[in-house]
């Protein structure tokens, strides 16, 4: 992608990317009880990175985030499958989800659910795939 | 999930670790040493079941897989599955041990090789121990796929790929037929468990679907066990590395079909169709294989044809033995049970001597650099141990004493002679042919066994001495064939020991009704007096020796057979014609224009959905319960209509893209108004990302030209678009107006109690319908990889022209 020199966009992006990323994480975490979830959270994350692409160009972003997003997607799928298999070890059918409450130091009483872990897989798969597509098409000269 | 299930799945789990072991220890330790542990451990584990099984017990263990559909991973251990399990892992140990010396750790991609091998081993174990037909089918197809990978292991070679493709096309065709047959059986018996099916043999045998079920299941068995006319894939599969050939052809994959036939004998035994199909195809394959083996010049191809022939022998025995179930329990039926016993006995023996022979051929190939018997000769003094092993293996195969093949061959003759006594299924007239065919085939068997020994090891050395120094193989490589050769002799010396602990329980599993009455009275002995069987053997040796001696005189008959009529030619022709046909069909509709494809898709939607609505008379719209449309909604609707119209009349592509994007964002407002925050959020981000993608692609698109398309074309497109719009609107209204079933949403209202999530949408996504989501992200990722491959790996100009040639 050509590198545009748009001062206003650059300045605004510095702040907004952080906000979008925070919002993405918030969307992801709140997904269990409020609107949100892995898919939307992941896509919002992608939106933030895409904004960086547009402002700074793919090469620069790639240098700073040296991740192979194909691998990210693969890891996401592996996590989802793994959470499904976990239940099988105790004799439940594939993809049985469980949840429980534990007391964590800072957060206090917190819910821990395998469904959230599954959702992490979904989010990673979405992030990996979308960024792979955007980067390949955007990079193709 | 019991320990036994884990043991069956152990090769699969272990395969995951192999690449890491490979990377970590490669320069020092051959990866095979690690892999060796898996079959060794499973073999020892299975041995521990032997006392239990040989005392007549069977064990069944169930692990839930898809319990809602009654599909479970049920392991069933009886004599038959244990016999196969021991052969698979026992030969597996020896093959892996042999491969450690055969496969160079410097040159070969060992991690791939051993992963495929472990996959194959696990699949075969799962196959023989599965009681559920669907589990059986899954493992059955994994054997096809893993053997495809193994045969194509040296994928740089054209022939390897060709052989792998051929074996896969044929065995998967058979596998699908078998699946259909098994489903028919499950319809007949209303169960997925093979054992329950067996207990309903009387229902099966009188059902109208019986013959289709038999034919379909046998197609699976025959393709897998390379029976005529499906045998053509086996010789081509010889392109695989020799350890693979030894494993696939001595011990396991090709025996899966035998297993299937043996397993289903209790259900189908006694039915004339089953009897005729199995025994005639078996006998013909026996004759065809042995006859064709003689003309082969490649040692491995010769062994491949000999395998085809020996499998035919086992198959025919199972067919003849199934007649036992035609009779009530009693002396007349007991006569034919010997055939089943002989089949199992020969199955075990074949694994030992054929494994040994394959390994010897591998050694010859590696030491001399050729397998062509026309270029071999006089190796006896250079490779004395290999020579001894070849003699033991070949003599056992030819059915000569003092080797185990002699015993099972004699039993085979006994069974065929008994078959000619049959006075049912028209056997009184055809029966006499059976021993004659068996005898002729055995003569050819004798001849090719002699070819293996004498053409390779005796006579003049045809090697250029300076070419390569030929010497005996390293000791490690000889261990495995030595063990097998020793087993060949041990089985000959103590056959009744093996019979009691291994074969009789297996026999009991094939003919359970006879086993319950304890009707097997068999005592194998090397010397059984001067009877017909012995004279047949003497005749074979006499005639076979003469024919071998004058081989050159009658060898010409092989040239009479026209090449255009061979099965391979027919296979190639069929493949070619299918490809041409599908190409011509594809060319017809693949125009290269996206708009054409959209027209197909939309027309299909109109015809199918509109047609269904019209024919089923479900066009009912009930607007009585609908709420009033308020001002906001009116505004939004007008906005969407305007934007949609803008897309149609847009002169520049950029305007169109922006209009489509805006349309998407407007839909977000709809979701907001109808209080669906999840959907609104999703739509918002998806729309953002797709707009970005659109703009990215924008760069690559050709310049938009003003098109002057003919009016008919425009009219047709308008008609299709209108049609789609109308149909979808009607569907939406009808869906809203109909309340055929109770709404399922009340179930999800308890999401917090059921799934611990207050967000119902997310609970549905990750919990209630988690399987859907999992597959969806899989599809998404595949699509992403597809885009990646299309963009990054496309052909450049020069490659394109190469591909076109």
Q: What is the DSSP string of B97-114?
A: HHHHHHS-TTTS-HHHHH
Nearest by CB: B788 against A31, A80, A132: A132
Q: Are A132 and A73 in contact (CB under 8 A)?
A: yes
Task: Kindly tell me if the per-residue pLDDT of A3 is higher than 60.
Answer: no
Q: What's the CA gap between A50 and A57, in Å, rounded?
A: 10
Q: At what angle do helices B299-321 and B272-294 cross, to 10 degrees?
A: 160
Q: What is the mean pLDDT of residues B537-549?
A: 84
Q: Nearest to residue B348, comparing CAs of B484, B523, B233?
A: B484
Q: Provide the sign of the torsion angle of the four alpha carbons B788, B793, B797, B803, taken in this order.
A: negative
Task: Kindly tell me if the per-residue pLDDT of B425 is higher than 70.
Answer: no
d(CA A86, nearest CA chain B) in Å: 13
Report the relative pairing of strands B59-66 and B71-77 from DSSP bridges.
antiparallel
Q: What's the CA gap between B15 and B26, in Å, rounded?
A: 16
Question: How big is the CA angle at A118 (ends A117 and A120), to the nearest 5 degrees?
Answer: 65
| C-alpha B491: how far from chain center | 31
Task: Kindly tell me if the per-residue pLDDT of B756 is higher than 90.
Answer: no
pTM for this prediction: 0.75
| C-alpha B170: how far from chain center | 9
Show the tokens assigned to B709.
Answer: 């398309």
Q: What's the CA gap between B759 and B751, in Å, rounded?
A: 8
Is A133 in contact with B65 (Cβ distance < 8 A)?
A: no
Paired with B298 in beta bridges are B372
Residue range B304-334, pLDDT digits in tens = 888 888 889 899 888 888 877 777 666 666 6
Express as a percent the part of chain B with pLDDT over 70. 90
Task: Kindly tell me if the per-residue pLDDT of B87 is higher than 80.
Answer: yes
Task: Kindly tell me if the per-residue pLDDT of A116 is higher than 90.
Answer: no
Burial class (CB in 10 A: 0-12, 13-18, 19+), B581: exposed
Residue range B392-415, pLDDT digits in tens = 988 888 888 788 888 888 888 888
Residue B6 forms contact with A (CB below 8 Å): no
Q: What is the mean pLDDT of residues B518-528?
A: 66
DSSP 8-state symbol, B298: B
Q: What's the CA gap between A40 and B570, in Å, rounded?
A: 55
Is B788 in contact with A133 (Cβ distance < 8 A)?
A: yes
* Per-residue CA distances from B351 to A32, B256, B540 (Å): 57, 13, 23
Residue range B429-477, pLDDT digits in tens = 677 788 888 888 888 888 888 888 888 888 777 665 545 667 777 888 8
- Reported in sequence order, the residue ranges of B28-79 that DSSP labels E, i.e. its strands, are 59-66, 71-77
Q: Are B167 and B153 in contact (CB under 8 A)?
A: no
- Reported in sequence order, the residue ranges of B436-582 that DSSP labels E, i.e. its strands, are none
- Residue B618 CB partners (closer than 8 Å, separation 6+): B612, B734, B738
Residue B774 forms contact with A (CB below 8 Å): yes
Q: Are B284 and B247 in contact (CB under 8 A)?
A: no
Is B767 in contact with A138 (Cβ distance < 8 A)?
A: no
Identify the residue whose tokens are 């678009």: B721
Identify the residue whose tokens are 């003759």: B413
Q: What is the mean pLDDT of residues B66-80?
A: 84
Give 3-state DSSP helix, strand, coil % of chain A, rounded to 5: 70, 10, 25
- Reported in sequence order, the residue ranges of B622-663 that DSSP labels E, i.e. its strands, are none
Nearest by CB: A35 against B677, B693, B767: B677
pLDDT at B248: 80
Q: Provide the sign of the torsion angle of the four alpha carbons B215, B217, B220, B222, taken in this order.
A: negative
Q: What's the CA gap between B600 and B783, in Å, rounded?
A: 21
Q: What is the mean pLDDT of chain A?
A: 81
Q: What is the mean pLDDT of residues B96-103?
A: 86
Q: What's the CA gap between B440 and B578, in Å, rounded?
A: 38
Between B505 and B176, residue with greater pLDDT: B176
Q: What is the mean pLDDT of residues B248-276?
A: 83
Task: Kindly tell me if the per-residue pLDDT of B562 is higher than 90.
Answer: no
Nearest by CB: B689 against A46, A125, A136: A46
Give the ipTM: 0.87
pLDDT at A2: 52
Residue range A11-46, pLDDT digits in tens = 888 899 999 999 998 888 887 777 778 888 898 999
Is A136 in contact with B756 (Cβ distance < 8 A)?
A: no
Give me Rg for the CA atoms of chain A. 18
Q: What is the mean pLDDT of chain B?
A: 82
B764 contact residues in A (CB cutoff 8 A)? none
Task: Kindly tell me if the per-residue pLDDT of B803 is higher than 70.
Answer: no
SS3 A112: strand
Q: Are A123 and B773 in contact (CB under 8 A)?
A: no
Express as a percent the part of chain B with pLDDT over 90. 6
Q: Nearest to residue A128, comparing CAs of A75, A60, A57, A51?
A: A75
* Per-residue CA distances from B271 to B212, B304, B311, B322, B446 (Å): 13, 32, 22, 8, 34
pLDDT at B180: 93
């Amino acid at each position: 992608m050509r590198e545009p020199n748009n001062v206003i966009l650059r300045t605004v992006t510095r702040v907004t990317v952080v906000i979008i990323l925070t919002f993405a994480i918030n969307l992801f975490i709140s997904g269990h009880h409020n609107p949100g979830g892995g898919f939307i959270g992941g896509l919002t994350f992608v939106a933030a990175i895409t904004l960086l692409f547009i402002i700074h160009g793919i090469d620069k972003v790639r240098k700073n985030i040296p991740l192979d997003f194909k691998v990210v997607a693969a890891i996401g799928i592996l996590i989802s499958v793994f959470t499904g298999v976990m239940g099988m070890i105790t004799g439940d059918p594939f993809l049985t989800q469980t949840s429980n409450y534990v007391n964590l130091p800072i957060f206090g009483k917190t819910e821990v659910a395998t469904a959230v872990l599954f959702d992490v897989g979904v989010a990673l798969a979405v992030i990996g795939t979308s960024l792979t597509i955007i980067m390949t098409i955007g990079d193709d000269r | 999930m019991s320990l036994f299930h884990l043991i069956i799945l152990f090769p699969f789990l272990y395969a995951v670790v192999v690449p890491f072991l490979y990377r970590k220890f490669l320069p020092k330790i051959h990866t095979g040493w690690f892999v060796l542990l898996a079959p060794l451990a499973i073999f020892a584990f299975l041995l521990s079941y032997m006392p239990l099984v040989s005392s007549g017990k069977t064990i069944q263990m169930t692990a839930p897989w898809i319990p809602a559909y009654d599909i479970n991973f049920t392991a069933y251990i009886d004599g038959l599955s244990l016999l196969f399990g021991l052969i698979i892992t026992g030969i597996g140990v020896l093959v892996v041990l042999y491969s450690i010396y055969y496969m160079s750790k410097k040159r070969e991609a060992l991690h791939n090789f051993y992963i495929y091998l472990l996959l194959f081993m696990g699949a075969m174990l799962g196959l023989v121990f599965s009681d559920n037909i669907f589990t059986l089918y899954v493992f059955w197809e994994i054997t096809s796929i893993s053997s495809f990978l193994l045969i194509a292991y040296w994928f740089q070679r054209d022939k390897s790929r060709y052989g792998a493709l051929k074996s896969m096309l044929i065995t998967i065709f058979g596998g699908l037929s078998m699946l259909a047959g098994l489903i028919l059986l499950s319809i007949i018996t209303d169960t997925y468990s093979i054992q329950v099916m067996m207990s309903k043999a009387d229902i099966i045998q009188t059902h109208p679907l019986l013959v289709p079920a038999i034919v379909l299941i046998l197609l699976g068995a025959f393709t897998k066990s390379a029976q005529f006319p499906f045998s053509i894939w086996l010789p081509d599969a010889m392109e695989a590395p020799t350890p693979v050939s030894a494993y696939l052809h001595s011990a396991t994959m090709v025996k899966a079909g035998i297993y299937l036939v043996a397993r289903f004998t209790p259900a189908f035994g006694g039915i004339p169709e089953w009897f005729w199909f199995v025994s005639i195809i078996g006998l013909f394959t026996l004759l065809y294989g042995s006859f064709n083996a003689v003309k082969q010049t490649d040692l491995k191809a010769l062994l491949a044809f000999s395998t085809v022939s020996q499998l035919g022998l086992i198959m025919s025995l199972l067919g003849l033995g199934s007649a036992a179930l035609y009779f009530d329990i009693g002396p007349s039926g007991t006569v034919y049970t010997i055939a089943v016993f002989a089949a199992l006995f020969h199955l075990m023996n074949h694994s030992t001597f054929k494994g040994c022979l394959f390994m010897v051929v591998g050694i010859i190939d590696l030491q001399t650099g050729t397998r062509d018997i026309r270029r071999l000769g006089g190796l006896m003094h250079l490779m004395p141990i290999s020579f001894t092993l070849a003699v033991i293996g070949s003599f056992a195969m030819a059915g000569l004493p003092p080797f185990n093949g002699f015993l099972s061959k004699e039993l085979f003759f006994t069974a065929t002679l008994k078959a000619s006594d049959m006075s049912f299924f028209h056997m009184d007239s055809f029966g006499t042919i059976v021993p004659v065919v068996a005898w002729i085939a055995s003569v050819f068997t004798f001849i090719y066994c002699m070819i293996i020994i004498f053409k390779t090891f005796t006579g003049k050395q045809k090697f250029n001495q300076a070419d390569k120094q030929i010497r005996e193989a390293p000791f490690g490589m000889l261990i495995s064939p030595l063990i097998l050769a020793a087993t060949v002799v041990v089985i000959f010396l103590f056959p009744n020991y093996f019979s009691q602990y291994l074969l009789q329980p297996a026999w009991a599993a094939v003919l359970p009704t006879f086993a319950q009455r304890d009707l097997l009275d068999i005592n194998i002995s090397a010397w059984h007096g001067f009877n017909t069987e012995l004279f047949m053997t003497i005749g074979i040796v006499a005639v076979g020796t003469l024919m071998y001696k004058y081989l050159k005189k009658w060898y010409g008959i092989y040239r009479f057979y026209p090449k255009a009529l061979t099965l391979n030619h027919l296979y190639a022709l069929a493949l070619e014609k299918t490809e041409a046909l599908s190409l011509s069909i594809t060319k017809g509709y693949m125009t290269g224009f996206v708009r054409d494809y959209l027209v197909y898709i939309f027309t299909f939607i109109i015809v199918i959905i509109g047609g269904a609505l019209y024919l089923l008379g479900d066009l009912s719209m009930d607007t009585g319960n609908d709420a009033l449309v308020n001002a906001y909604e009116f505004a939004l609707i007008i906005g969407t209509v305007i934007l949609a119209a803008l897309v149609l009349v847009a002169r520049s592509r950029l305007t169109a893209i922006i209009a489509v994007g805006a349309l998407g964002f407007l839909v977000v407002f709809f979701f907001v108004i109808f209080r669906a925050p999840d959907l609104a959020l999703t739509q918002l981000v998806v729309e953002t990302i797709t707009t970005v993608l659109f703009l990215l692609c924008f760069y690559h698109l050709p310049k938009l030209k003003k098109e002057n398309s003919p009016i008919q074309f425009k009219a047709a497109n308008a008609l299709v678009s209108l049609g789609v719009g109308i149909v979808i609107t009607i569907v939406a209204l009808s869906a809203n107006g109909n309340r055929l079933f109770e709404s399922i949403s009340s179930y999800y209202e308890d999401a917090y109690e059921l799934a611990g999530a207050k967000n119902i949408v997310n609970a549905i996504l990750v919990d209630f319908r988690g399987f859907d989501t999992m597959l969806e992200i899989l599809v998404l990722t595949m699509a992403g990889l597809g885009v990646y491959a299309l963009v990054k790996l496309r052909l450049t100009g020069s490659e394109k022209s190469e591909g076109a040639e």
